[in-house]
Structure 1
């Protein structure tokens, strides 16, 4: 689990302990991590409303909550996380799911092109690498 996520969960746990104390006898122990202020399970469309609020605050266009799975899978691809690990994190039993959810980005394509460039072609002795990207080819 990423450190920042663990820290957020610890903070959430502390806030929930305060809610539990405030709710007193009204608190229902359900075992859920995310609950209403009285411990009851969240209404299923609560995620939807929080998602829409998050998109609005981030000034991101309309997206489905399910699109976040595509983003998460693509981020794991960008990080070059091994396929078995991605499958475990995403809860997939088939590698076909990677083809559905992971999207090859321009950044990945440029990275591959750079690696092929370095592997196949050595820079001529009279050409210094100025660190700039290759020019666009039409």
Structure 2
């Protein structure tokens, strides 16, 4: 569901952000955000097999989520008892407190986890969870056209990523993502948020805009360019046209243009 409050950026602010992002690693992530309005989980979960740079299309068929790890084994306690230990007591002579690191030791008679402890699921060899691709809700599954100036930028990004993949070698984690870490790992939503905030600061945008406001910006700019509202609905993946219509009354650009047209109609 869309946020109630809409805080889009202006066209000049959006261009300033893109100017700052163009030379940054994964900078095209923000070009797609501001041009096509993909939701954060849709953008971070976008894979190359759904991007057709020859035809200039992106199929927004999946989003990525990080699900909490759960044990997949029969005995969660036995699975992790060698990994999950109580911290050593304060008077432990083996503790190296000068290093600043927590020390864990095995003393005679020391117990491991409680019999019902299941807090070591991330270490389970058969763990369930982690990064998972899930289908978007409602009618969000869609195919969108890529603005022509963005296609060569995505091609350059793809080539740069292929070089990173070769450099990483066996360490590369092949999720097939368009935007990822230097070893192929997915980008966490919090890291993505921090990147966005840094771009706002570097671009001197004096607004406390959220990542989702890039999506609002795309919708507003599309409407200001005269794109039919039903087309905007399809690009954004809104299930209801009423959601898209909320953008038609938040921009002064539309009001000014309407006044100018009426002036030309009545007074030449």
TM-score normalised over the length of structure 1: 0.80
**Does the CA contact (< 8 Å) of 1:27 and 1:38 recur in 2?**
yes
Residue from 179, 200, 216 that aligns with 1:34: 179
> Which structure has the higher relative contact order (CA within 8 Å, separation 6+)?
2
In terms of fraction of residues, the more strand-rich structure is 2
Q: Please name the residue that 1:20 is paired with.
A: 165
Structure 2 residue runs of 5 or longer lacking an equivalent are 1-145
Partners of 2:188 and 2:262 lie apart in 1 by 51
**Does the CA contact (< 8 Å) of 2:229 and 2:245 recur in 1?**
no
1:36-75 matches, cutoff 5 A: 36-61=181-206, 62-75=208-221
The Cα of 1:22 is off from its aligned counterpart by 0.4
Q: Please name the residue that 1:120 is paired with.
A: 266
Q: List 4+ stretches of structure 1 deviating above 6 A.
A: none
Partners of 2:210 and 2:152 lie apart in 1 by 27
TM-score normalised over the length of structure 2: 0.43
The CA deviation string for residues 14-64 of structure 1, in whole angstroms up to 9 with x for no partner, is: 110010010011112112111111111112212101101110111112211
How many residues in Structure 1 have an aligned counterpart in Structure 2? 122
Larger Cα Rg: Structure 1 or Structure 2?
2
Q: Could you say what the CA RMSD is over the residues aligned between the two structures, in angstroms?
A: 1.5
The Cα of 1:103 is off from its aligned counterpart by 4.3
3-state SS in 1 of match to 2:149: helix
Structure 1 residue runs of 5 or longer lacking an equivalent are 123-138
Partners of 1:33 and 1:102 lie apart in 2 by 32
